[in-house]
Amino acid sequence: MSEYQKIQSELRSLADPIKAKVLSRFFKTGQGEYGQGDRFLGVVVPKIRKIVKSHRQASMDAVLKLLRSPYHEERLTALLMLVEKYRRGEPTERRAIYDLYLGNTPHINNWDLVDLTAQHIVGNQIYENHSSALAQLAASESLWERRIAMLSTYYHIRRGESREALQVARLLLHDRQDLIHKAVGWMLREVGKRCSIEAECGFLDEHAAAMPRTMLRYAIEGFPESLKRRYMGQRRRQANRKKSDNRDSSGRRKHP
């Protein structure tokens, strides 16, 4: 039995059909949903991490096969293995893992796969090498690459640096996807918690009126009620002005 087959066998021995159905609904795998067509074994993350720990020396060939699996948990296993390899790797190995990660984004195709790994590989690599890749990812047509761009900045935020997060947030300010609104709002909130509340409020002073509602709500979660009302009020007034601009003098909606 190959190394890949051993890991696959261990994962499938933990499969839980009932849990798989729950996860399929939770990660929106239905027709037209963001996770359409994804398949689940029903294995929870703590059990996956145990398998990752016991196969730290797995070959890159085995990891790549897992990453291209139709099963969500096998792809997550591969990605967490890449995180472990990146942490222990030399600079040339790290660069190779970073390139492999970004070369396989079609398989990093749900929010948990991004959120558990992007900062540790993409964020770390960019932090150490001052790459411009975040702007390129933020401009991608891929929802998941745009989320990778935003979540990668968490590595910088956790080290007290907000510049990259604020730059990517500006690029994604008018994104149409709810998962991006949540990601941007979350990282802005973390900027306020871990870097500087002044930096977050400065961004909100400039952009709150134009931010999608979900993005703003995520960003101001934990703020005092008075500050929440201030920023939600800015957005509400802007929305009311837009509605007014879209109506003619008789109060009827203008035709586009």
- Cβ contacts of 117 within 8 Å, gap of 6 or more: 79, 80, 82, 83, 101, 108
Mean pLDDT of 198-215: 96
* CATH class of domain segment(s) 117-248: mainly alpha
CA nearest neighbour of 116 among 87, 88, 170, 77: 77
Q: What is the pLDDT of residue 243?
A: 65
HSE at residue 147, side-chain half, CA atoms within 13 A, is 25
CATH 1.25.10.90 is right for the domain spanning 1-93: yes
pLDDT of 248 strictly over 80:
no
At residue 174, the 3 state secondary structure works out as coil
User: What angle is formed at CA 240 by the lines to CA 214 and CA 231, rounded to 5 degrees?
Assistant: 45
Query: For residues 246 and 199, what is the distance between their CA atoms, to the nearest angstrom?
Result: 34
Closest by CA position to 158, among listed 134, 182, 127: 127
Region 186-211: what's the mean pLDDT? 96
Written as six digits, the tokens of 9 are 């066998």
Question: Which residues belong to CATH 1.25.10.90 in the chain?
Answer: 1-93, 117-248
Supply the pLDDT for residue 249: 46
Write down the pLDDT at residue 254: 52
pLDDT, position 246: 63
Give the start-end residues of each E strand in the chain.
none
Max Cα separation, the chain? Answer: 76
Residue labelled with tokens 């900045």: 153
pLDDT single digits (tens) 216-243: 999 999 999 999 999 998 888 876 776 6
Among 16-25, 60-69, 178-187, 227-236, which stretch is predicted with the lowest mean pLDDT?
A: 227-236
Predicted confidence (pLDDT) per residue in 109-157, tens digit: 999 999 999 999 999 999 999 778 999 999 999 999 999 999 999 999 9
**pLDDT number for residue 256:** 44
Q: How many other CB atoms are found less than 10 A from the CB of residue 83?
A: 19
Token reading at 156? 């910088």
